[in-house]
């Protein structure tokens, strides 16, 4: 009888083997995406479009950190004028490329050229011994970074300084190629500390504003009241004149009818009699409305005139108070 030998695999090795088998397709897909992005970026660089190519090179390198992709990213940043970024990527390429790589010479030549064009800035924060957060274009700088010059890209930059208590300020600056700047950045101004009351003391309270009260006896209120009454009488006067005009026209019409129907001052038909009665009634209404209108306008005019020239005199005594209006002719 043949004996069958059992093959035993340690549990740890089996788990590792299963993980490798599971991650292999994902890694292959990641490399495929990285290669696709790399080729697209190369075509855009050939067309002179580094602004579109650099993000694709950077994403390709993130997915598959190949030395060739890093070199192309450095050359792309150089084409954009980002000399400090290109210089940094080229130095990273020197550290990652294998010995004997024929691209090392190209990278070293580029590094030497860029170093002659690099802008440098050294930041000094005037703030005493206080602990502060310093950011250069949203990149936080610690004490080691502030003790020496830093290579930056040419162009616009912003230094932001913030105290631990929250006060902050921003200082923009512009730097050109091959320029060296020593910048002293002022610390943010301190805010006044909040005042806390001591034992047995009270904080000074601002004077209370008394609620505005309306005094009906002030001259302005009196004038406003008289003017409102004046407007009311004026409206009545205008309405009276309009009514007088309408009924006057109706009375005139009735008078014409009477003349036609009663040529001998004697009315022989009903139409003439009706016109006589209607005309008398309309004439009476017109006269009354005319009087009312005239009185309304006259009264309103007098009150309006008086409201512009009236002053109020208020007097008080232990027995009471009195208010009088005195007309002032100006």
Using the Cα atoms of residue 213, residue 217, residue 220 and residue 221 in order, give the sign of their dihedral: positive
Is the Cβ–Cβ distance between 243 and 293 less than 8 Å? yes
* Closest alpha carbon to 229 in 114, 325, 160: 325
How would residue 6 be classed by pLDDT, with cut points 50, 70 and 90?
very low
Judged against a pLDDT cut of 60, whether residue 326 lies above it is answered with: no
Q: For residue range 219-262, what is the model confidence (pLDDT) as tens digits? A: 666 667 777 877 887 788 788 789 888 888 887 887 777 677 67
- Supply 268's token pair: 């022989």
pTM above threshold 0.85: no
Of the spans 59-68, 262-271, 308-317, which averages the highest pLDDT?
59-68
Q: How far apart are the first and last CA of the chain?
A: 143
Judged against a pLDDT cut of 50, whether residue 327 lies above it is answered with: no
| CA 117 from centre of chain | 42
CA distances from 283 to 106, 237, 280, 290 (A): 117, 18, 5, 10
161 strand-pairing partners: 134, 169
More confident residue, 28 or 49: 49
The neighbour count for residue 64, using CB atoms within 10 Å, is: 17
Judged against a pLDDT cut of 90, whether residue 117 lies above it is answered with: yes
- Output the average pLDDT for the chain: 79
Judged against a pLDDT cut of 60, whether residue 190 lies above it is answered with: yes
What is the percent of the chain where pLDDT is above 70? 72
What pLDDT sits at residue 305?
72
What pLDDT sits at residue 128?
62
What pLDDT sits at residue 57?
97
* Closest alpha carbon to 118 in 176, 188, 34, 184: 176
What pLDDT sits at residue 108?
96
- Give the pairing type, strands 180-186 and 150-151: unpaired
């Amino acid at each position: 009888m043949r004996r069958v030998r059992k093959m035993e695999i340690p549990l740890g090795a089996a788990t590792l083997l299963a993980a490798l088998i599971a991650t292999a397709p994902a890694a292959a897909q990641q490399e495929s995406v990285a290669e696709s992005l790399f080729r697209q970026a190369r075509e855009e660089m050939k067309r002179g479009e580094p602004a579109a190519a650099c993000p694709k090179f950077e994403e390709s390198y993130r997915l598959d950190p190949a030395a060739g992709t890093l070199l192309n990213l450095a050359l792309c940043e150089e084409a954009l004028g980002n000399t400090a970024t290109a210089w940094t990527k080229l130095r990273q390429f020197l550290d990652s490329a294998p010995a004997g790589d024929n691209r090392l010479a190209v990278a070293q030549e580029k590094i030497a050229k860029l170093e002659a064009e690099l802008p440098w800035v050294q930041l000094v924060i005037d703030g005493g011994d206080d602990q502060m957060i310093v950011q250069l274009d949203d990149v936080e700088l610690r004490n080691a970074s502030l003790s020496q010059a830093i290579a930056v890209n040419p162009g616009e930059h912003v230094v932001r300084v913030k105290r631990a208590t929250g006060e902050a300020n921003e200082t923009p600056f512009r730097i050109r190629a091959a320029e060296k700047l020593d910048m002293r950045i002022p610390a943010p101004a301190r805010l006044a500390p909040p005042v806390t009351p001591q034992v047995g003391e009270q904080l000074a309270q601002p004077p209370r504003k008394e609620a505005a009260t309306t005094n009906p006896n002030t001259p302005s209120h009196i004038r406003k009241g008289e003017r409102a009454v004046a407007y009311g009488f004026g409206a009545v006067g205008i309405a009276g004149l309009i009514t007088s005009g309408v009924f006057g026209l109706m009375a005139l019409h009735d008078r014409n009818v009477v003349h036609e129907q009663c040529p001998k001052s004697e009315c022989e038909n009903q139409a003439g009699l009706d016109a006589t009665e209607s005309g008398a009634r309309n004439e009476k209404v017109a006269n009354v409305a005319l009087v009312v209108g005239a009185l309304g306008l006259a009264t309103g005019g007098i009150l309006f005139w008086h409201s512009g020239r009236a002053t109020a005199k208020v007097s008080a005594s232990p027995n009471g108070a009195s208010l009088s209006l005195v007309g002032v002719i100006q």
